[in-house]
Amino acid sequence: MKILVLNSGSSSLKYQLFEMPNEQALCTGLVDRIGLEHSSITHKTFFKGKESKHQVELAIPDHEGALLRVTELLKDPKVGVLKDNTEIEAIGHRVVHGGEQFAATTLITEEVKAKIKGLFALAPLHNPPNYLGITVAERVFPQAKQVAVFDTAFHQSMPALAYRYALPKSMYTDLGIRAYGFHGTSHQYVSKKASEYLNNSKAKIITIHLGNGCSMTAVDSGKSVDTSMGLGPMGGLVMGTRAGDIDPSIIFHLINERGFSAQEVNDILNKKSGLLGLSGLSDMRDVKNAITEGSPDAKLAYELYAYRIQKYIGAFAAVLKGLDAIVFTAGVGENDADMREAVCKNMDFFGIMLDTKLNRAGNKNIREVNKSSSAVKILVIPTNEELEIGQQTFELIRK
């Protein structure tokens, strides 16, 4: 069975085609800068262990045009992997926010689409392009079953103690104000891989997803019991351009005492804070280069980023009432050995003891980077959100 996975952003479209149930990736790609004059497509195919890469620049006006171009590439005699559109039996869509309505992967109907649309206010930057991707795929692949996989679904197992805020009850019951959490597909995938590696289905695990957006999740016996992001994806850890946790009184001080508008404050917290706000640089690689050049601001940004992760490890270890493993994943988590070292520094009292040599050994597979004497396993696990979406889509439609 061939399953296409789509991740629609505001100006991009990521895709991956899997042969299920053997989980073989046939191709993967990215359509970038949709709606701009110089759009681009990067298309990779995999055959007998060899990767072939095809890139092209052209004007792509909208998401429908992007998906049509992807379809052409999938069937292209030279770089394609399909003979016909009808070979695709299902399409798994990443949808960022499912609210309380969706706690599991769901077959898309008109009613489901209406509910996704009704959640636009909770994820204004993400749900609209996700929804658009669904409507376009329905037109381009009318024979395929359309399936929604929600970033928030994995966190629906959190207890009220974790997801409720200490606000008037009506704000929850009437307005849906609560913690939903994000990056759920990534946290679910790597925590599942960690449990398999540990051969312990009841493992207590902290997953640490570090990319441009960052979040952590406490996982007990395969279920999310707490997570660092809340109503939206701004809270918790320091991120590339997002502030993470702040004192809410800062917002009102800026608006009431300093004359900022609510929109200006939102832009500051979302787009001008985090690593960028502290150092002037949003990419961790650039921050590290600035440190080597002697920038005190970059050094503070790097250390504050690690410090916040350490705080959440302490908090989530208390929530879990024990700890079997911590897992680093995503761009920074998988590739930045210095950051893993900074996070694990002086954590011996927690049973977290990093092996510096193992930590610096390059490897794309799941690996331990802890000392043999460490009570807590320190794992690096490459995330694969597209594969998780493909797996969940396959499990749903084969029933």
pLDDT at 11 (0 to 100) = 79
Reference 397, options 114, 146, 65, 120; nearest CA is 146
187 lies in a domain? no
Q: Is 204 annotated as a binding residue?
A: no
Angle at 394 between CA 226 and CA 105, to 5 degrees: 35
DSSP, collapsed to helix, strand or coil, labels residue 158 as: coil
Reference 181, options 219, 148, 145, 147; nearest CA is 219
32 lies in a domain? yes
Looking at the structure, tell me whether residues 135 and 209 fall in a common domain. no
Q: Is 334 annotated as a binding residue?
A: yes
355 lies in a domain? yes
Q: What is the DSSP letter of 123?
A: S
Q: Using omega within 30 degrees of 0 as the cis cutoff, is the peptide bond preceding 159 cis?
A: no
pLDDT at 187 (0 to 100) = 97
Question: How many distinct structural domains can be found in the chain?
Answer: 2
pLDDT at 62 (0 to 100) = 87
Rounded Cα distance between 348 and 118, Å, is 47
Looking at the structure, tell me whether residues 231 and 354 fall in a common domain. yes
Looking at the structure, tell me whether residues 39 and 139 fall in a common domain. yes
Rounded Cα distance between 258 and 308, Å, is 28
287 lies in a domain? yes
pLDDT at 35 (0 to 100) = 86
192 lies in a domain? no
173 lies in a domain? no
Q: Is 311 annotated as a binding residue?
A: no
84 is catalytic: no
Looking at the structure, tell me whether residues 264 and 138 fall in a common domain. no
Looking at the structure, tell me whether residues 218 and 287 fall in a common domain. yes
Looking at the structure, tell me whether residues 220 and 113 fall in a common domain. no
Rounded Cα distance between 60 and 33, Å, is 8
pLDDT at 91 (0 to 100) = 97
Per DSSP, the residues of 45-63 read EEETTEEEEEEEEE---SH
Structural domain span for residue 111: 2-150
**Catalytic residue (choose from 151, 220, 226, 324):** 151
For 219, the enclosing helix (H) or strand (E) is strand 214-220
Looking at the structure, tell me whether residues 244 and 324 fall in a common domain. yes
Q: Is 335 annotated as a binding residue?
A: yes
Domain end, chosen from 133, 150, 167, is at 150
**Number of continuous H segments (helices) and E segments (strands) in the chain:** 15, 14
pLDDT at 313 (0 to 100) = 98
Q: Is 284 annotated as a binding residue?
A: yes
The alpha helices in 90-248, defined as continuous H runs, are: 110-118, 127-140, 160-163, 169-173, 184-198
Looking at the structure, tell me whether residues 145 and 263 fall in a common domain. no
Taken in order 189, 190, 191, 196, the sign of the CA dihedral is positive
59 lies in a domain? yes
Helix, strand, coil proportions of the chain in percent (round to 5)? Answer: 40, 20, 35
pLDDT at 36 (0 to 100) = 81
Tokens 């991009």, residue located = 12
Rounded Cα distance between 29 and 6, Å, is 10
| Cβ–Cβ under 8 Å, residues 145 and 397 | yes
Domain end, chosen from 150, 176, 209, is at 150
User: Residue 246: how many CB atoms within 10 A of its CB?
Assistant: 12
Looking at the structure, tell me whether residues 24 and 87 fall in a common domain. yes
Domain of 69, CATH number, reads 3.30.420.40
Looking at the structure, tell me whether residues 258 and 343 fall in a common domain. yes
Q: Is 187 annotated as a binding residue?
A: no
Tokens 């950051």, residue located = 339
Radius of gyration of the chain (CA): 21
357 lies in a domain? yes
Looking at the structure, tell me whether residues 357 and 216 fall in a common domain. yes
Looking at the structure, tell me whether residues 301 and 370 fall in a common domain. yes
Q: Is 169 annotated as a binding residue?
A: no
- In tens digits, the chain (399 residues) has pLDDT values of 999 999 887 778 899 999 999 999 999 999 988 888 788 999 999 887 788 899 988 889 888 889 889 989 998 988 899 988 899 999 999 999 999 999 999 999 999 999 999 999 888 878 888 998 899 999 989 999 999 999 999 999 999 999 999 999 999 999 999 999 999 999 999 999 999 999 999 999 999 999 889 999 999 999 999 999 999 889 999 999 999 999 999 999 999 999 999 999 999 999 999 999 999 999 999 999 999 999 999 999 999 999 999 999 999 999 999 999 999 999 999 999 999 999 999 999 999 999 999 999 877 789 999 999 999 999 999 999 999 999 999 999 987
